[in-house]
Amino acid sequence: MKSPLLALPGAVPAEGADEGVAAHYGDIFREQRHLAQGTGFVDLSHRGVVTVTGDDRLAWLHLLLTQHVSALPPQQATEALVLSPHGHVEHALYLVDDGTTTWAHVEPGTQGALVAYLESMKFFYRVEVADATADYAVVYLPAGSTGSVERVAAVRELPYGRDLFVPRADLEKLTAGYGPAAGVWAYEALRIEGHRPRLGFETDHRTIPHEVDWLRTAVHLQKGCYRGQETVARVHNLGRPPRRLVFLHLDGTEETLPPHGTEVRLAADPDGRALGFVTSSARHHELGPIALAIVKRNVPVDAVLLAGTVLGSQDVIVPQ
């Protein structure tokens, strides 16, 4: 779904998973600085939007998701996952309930499969599930923004900003009052800095929540049964995840960033076995080139790593 905001001056379209919105508007570092200072906005209108209504919506979602949502207060933002029967991450939902409707935004293109799964689990519950992507768009305002949210459908208040669900027909009109536009490259650089995992980037077909720090934000360890819970409990109580997410400070002398999937090795053994892979990378306005990577759990936390041909030192996100 192509955003009308691609008509803004300087807009350069994003590619890949973020196709449909702007990668940047001509100056990625200025755009990052604006967001870090609490000004501007990011067009995330390519993301999927799913709504759930009905009297049983929270009790029903509580049975399906990793998060405790049966008593979720109105306007309180949360995150949740849908896991496979073996505990692997299938969907990541960014939720808020407004008292009558539960709103969620999800990775672009995943909303159809999520809605199909939810529909298959309705049984006798009084719920209605809808793919609302055609009618609503997501916009991000950074922490400190004074942009008005009076005319939006729902708001997710976060420590680092706000996710707005806005009527798609009003996207241009509403964002015109939010200050300078920033592209998804700026948003991604701040996401990587914040160690926030993203489905399809920090995850693959065998990812479990423990590996990417989703136990902290998207999993409730004391709630009742849900699909995949046995794996979550077993690894948490009896073992350790086989892999862990790390933050990499990359060598700033290199001209290119290691793309998603770049193999990671020990710098001391550049011809040795791959120990993981780069999941996301960006150029940060203060930190320089940075990345997230998934590595084997037993990789020493003080080891210098090699992402392709780029050296990188680790910050621990998931303990060894």
Query: 300 and 254, same structural domain?
Result: yes
Instruction: Provide DSSP, 194-250.
Output: TT---TTTT--TT--GGGGTHHHHT--TTS---TTHHHHHHHHHH---SEEEEEEEE
Which residues does 256 contact at the CB level (< 8 Å), separation at least 6? Answer: 310
Query: 42 and 185, same structural domain?
Result: yes
Looking at residue 106, its pLDDT comes to 98
**Do residues 112 and 131 lie in contact, with contact meaning Cβ atoms separated by under 8 Å?**
yes
**Residue 90 above 90 pLDDT?**
yes
Query: 186 and 166, same structural domain?
Result: yes
Query: 249 and 108, same structural domain?
Result: no
CA 228 to chain centre: 20
Query: 125 and 274, same structural domain?
Result: no
Query: 31 and 59, same structural domain?
Result: no
Domain annotation covers residue 220: no
Domain annotation covers residue 87: yes
251-264 per-position pLDDT tens digit: 988 889 999 999 99
211-260 per-position pLDDT tens digit: 999 999 999 999 888 999 999 999 999 888 999 999 999 998 888 999 99
Query: 173 and 29, same structural domain?
Result: yes
Q: Which residue has the higher pLDDT, 285 or 225?
A: 285
Q: Which of 82-86, 99-103, 110-114, 220-224 comes out lowest in average pLDDT?
A: 220-224
CATH number at residue 62: 3.30.70.1400
**Do residues 160 and 126 lie in contact, with contact meaning Cβ atoms separated by under 8 Å?**
no
**Do residues 278 and 208 lie in contact, with contact meaning Cβ atoms separated by under 8 Å?**
no
Q: Of 131, 161, 184, which one is at a domain's C-terminal end?
A: 131
Domain annotation covers residue 23: yes
Domain annotation covers residue 150: yes
Please state, for a pLDDT cut of 90, what percent of the chain lies above it: 96
Query: 149 and 77, same structural domain?
Result: no
As for how many domains the chain has, the answer is 3
315: left (phi over 0), alpha (psi -120 to 50) or beta: beta
Query: 139 and 43, same structural domain?
Result: yes
Q: Of 194, 215, 230, which one is at a domain's C-terminal end?
A: 194
CATH number at residue 289: 2.40.30
Query: 120 and 62, same structural domain?
Result: yes
Count each helix (H run) and each strand (E run) in the chain, helices first.
Answer: 7, 18
Q: Of 131, 149, 179, which one is at a domain's C-terminal end?
A: 131
Domain annotation covers residue 309: yes
**Residue 39 above 90 pLDDT?**
yes
Q: What is the largest CA-CA distance in the chain?
A: 60
Domain annotation covers residue 42: yes
Domain annotation covers residue 209: no
Helix locations, the chain, DSSP H: 28-36, 57-64, 111-120, 171-175, 184-193, 214-217, 229-238
* Domain of 74, in residue numbers: 48-131
At which residue do the structure tokens 């998603």 appear?
260
Query: 297 and 268, same structural domain?
Result: yes
**249 CB-contact burial (10 Å; exposed 0-12 / middle 13-18 / buried 19+):** middle
Domain annotation covers residue 211: no
Query: What's the CA gap between 191 and 65, in Å, rounded?
Result: 23
121-147 per-position pLDDT tens digit: 999 999 999 999 999 999 999 999 999
Query: 251 and 314, same structural domain?
Result: yes
Q: How many CB atoms lie under 10 A from the CB of residue 9? A: 7
The whole-number average pLDDT for the span 1-14 is 96
In 3D space, the residue among 7, 129, 6, 142 whose CA is nearest the CA of residue 61 turns out to be 129
The whole-number average pLDDT for the span 267-292 is 97
